[in-house]
Structure 1
Amino acid sequence: MRVTNYVHRLPVSTPTLYPATTTNVYIVESEGTAWIIDAGYENPEAAKTILTYITQLAVKKVAGILLTHHHPDHSPGAKALADFYQCPIACHPLEVQPIEEKIAPFKVDFTLQEGDSVQAGDINLTVLHTPGHTHGHLNFWLEEEKVLFSGDNIVAEGTTWIGPPDGDLTAYLASLERLQELQPSLIAPGHGDIIRNPSEKIEFFIQRRLERERQILELLSQNPFRLEQLVDTIYRDQVHPSVIWVAERTILGHLEKLQKEKKVRQKDDRYVLI
């Protein structure tokens, strides 16, 4: 579906995390040239949906596929698209190895760093390195329409999980603060509908993480806790059983941040305040 003059959103079915059921694939097109942002899971029906839509747009050239990160609900679908359009696949250098594992025998054709840009007709997509969800997570900025393609940094429903081995909460909060400074008009998230209250949404994500941190510190001020005790206390009856492992990694990500800040330390199998 068309979102703006240059942007189209295609939610395609993927085995992603609840509450999401689809991953957004974006087509950014101008003057007959298009870039695809993210590619979803390796799903023939999803690929058919994307190919059909691009054909209807009368795109003359698909310049390439830009992957925000390596997770399996975002990257493997690049194989079918790259094969059909004979176009390159690009990502951040830190994502190359895990992406190539998922798109084999295809390879990443070129890498993107902070400040790079790609062009479609008379518009440019600027590359933002926004680590946190993964170390090489990328966002893309369409200055002409002030649209931010946020990958999994910001999603429309729920919140983004940040935890080991990929996640870094300190980096994630810094990335969110930076995205807030852009003052986007729209956020095109990796999952869910277009976000039309960007500033409010980004602030919500920041405050949710800080609120969780305060909860952990408050609990540890009362007693030492094991990781599983913290997860049970904070998330009891709040998350679907299928994603309790996400809650565990999220709490572990917070604990790692607090340990780096020398606010918390691990004593045997428990965490205690310093």
Structure 2
Amino acid sequence: MEGFEPGVPTAIDGCKIPVKRILGRNPGPMTGPGTNSYLIGQDRLCLLDPGPIDDVQFESFMSAIGNRKLEYLLLTHTHGDHSPGAARIHEATDATLVGISAPDVAGQDQSFQPQQKWQHGDEVDCGEYKIRLIHTPGHVSNHLCFLLVEEALLFTGDHVLQGTTSVILPPDGDMSAYLDSLAYLQTLRLRYLAPGHGGIMDEPQLEIEKLIAHRLKREAKVLAGLAELGECTVDELVLIVYDDVAEHLIPWAKRTMLAHLIKLERDDRIIESKDRWRLL
């Protein structure tokens, strides 16, 4: 993220409630410049998505918190680039953990154990501001977005990213649920989207509309590819459906394409037999 230094709190413009983005120290092919963490509030604080375990980043967080009270640790989901750093901060501050426990699938941070069961519509009240939980399954089943009510600012985790699209990861990730979650966000009054990776977006509904259109266009390519190839494997189909992505991303594209295939089979438009797919 050009112009942002990892570990340094940077204020988001246009907000009366202080919100500072803290870029992670974990750049990579799937994380971009790194995971965005967000420190919210003036005196009673929330920290969202502290990212992976990193001693230097932990010190950056503690310095940003200073002698103020960290009341809540907010976790959008339990992938390794978002949640593992929460445990040490919780131990140091006794902040309440807010999120949904990890599903029992590979790649999830099973160490995250919130003290209570949180669900869609719950709110945390920090006096000067409230944050509402919005369950947005799709990328993974336990994904939450967090709405800073007073600012109409939505922290989107990996549900909506800036400049790219989320990977949908079956069996826990679900394309139908992802599209339904995006449709729900279209019903909200939003001013900003603050993603887990990338920059702040100030045209929320346009971004959401573009994401839905992108997914439906990709779905159409899946159907066109099956029409062209006939019965085929995922390995054969992905080269047609994702002919616009770099080769090193094809393994991730295959997983998201599988999510499209599962959705289309559920919609009675295609069928799978012995790892081969065809139109109905």
Q: TM-score, normalised by structure 2?
A: 0.88
Distance between the aligned counterparts of 1:21 and 1:213, measured in 2?
29
In the other structure, the counterpart of 2:155 is: 149
Deviation for aligned residue 1:185: 0.4
Deviation for aligned residue 1:84: 1.8
In the other structure, the counterpart of 1:181 is: 187
Asked if 1 retains the 8 angstrom alpha-carbon contact of 2:103 and 2:141, the reply is no
Change (3 A) 1:140 1:188: same
Distance between the aligned counterparts of 2:181 and 2:244, measured in 1?
30
1:234 aligns to 2:245 (yes or no): no
Change (3 A) 1:81 1:16: farther
Distance between the aligned counterparts of 2:202 and 2:167, measured in 1?
22
Q: What number of residue pairs does the alignment pair up? A: 266
Asked if 2 retains the 8 angstrom alpha-carbon contact of 1:24 and 1:38, the reply is yes
- Counterpart residue identity of residue 29, structure 1: G
Greater mean alpha carbon deviation, residues 224-233 or residues 8-17:
8-17
SS of alignment partner, residue 162 of structure 1: coil
In the other structure, the counterpart of 1:158 is: 164
Distance between the aligned counterparts of 1:75 and 1:66, measured in 2?
9
- Counterpart residue identity of residue 53, structure 1: A
RMSD (Å) for aligned C-alpha atoms: 2.0
1:195 pairs, out of 183, 201, 208, with 201
SS of alignment partner, residue 277 of structure 2: strand
1:65 aligns to 2:76 (yes or no): no
2:139 pairs, out of 133, 144, 165, with 133
SS of alignment partner, residue 102 of structure 1: coil
Change (3 A) 1:207 1:194: same
1:89 pairs, out of 64, 81, 97, with 97
Asked if 2 retains the 8 angstrom alpha-carbon contact of 1:15 and 1:73, the reply is no
Distance between the aligned counterparts of 1:96 and 1:36, measured in 2?
22
Deviation for aligned residue 1:72: 0.3
Name stretches of at least 5 consecutive residues in structure 1 with no aligned partner.
none
Deviation for aligned residue 1:230: 1.2
In the other structure, the counterpart of 1:262 is: 268
Deviation for aligned residue 1:244: 2.3
Change (3 A) 1:220 1:96: closer
- Counterpart residue identity of residue 182, structure 2: L
Q: Deviations over 1:45-102 (max 9, x none)?
A: 22122222222xx5x2111211111100000010221122122222125x37679x73
Change (3 A) 1:19 1:40: closer
Q: Deviations over 1:177-214 (max 9, x none)?
A: 11122131000101111111211111111111100000
In the other structure, the counterpart of 2:4 is: none
Distance between the aligned counterparts of 1:79 and 1:103, measured in 2?
11
1:217 pairs, out of 223, 229, 232, with 223
Distance between the aligned counterparts of 1:5 and 1:240, measured in 2?
44
In the other structure, the counterpart of 1:114 is: 120
Greater mean alpha carbon deviation, residues 175-184 or residues 12-21:
12-21
Deviation for aligned residue 1:5: 2.6
In the other structure, the counterpart of 2:24 is: 12
In the other structure, the counterpart of 2:39 is: 27
Distance between the aligned counterparts of 2:213 and 2:223, measured in 1?
15
Change (3 A) 1:15 1:5: same
Name stretches of at least 5 consecutive residues in structure 2 with no aligned partner.
1-9
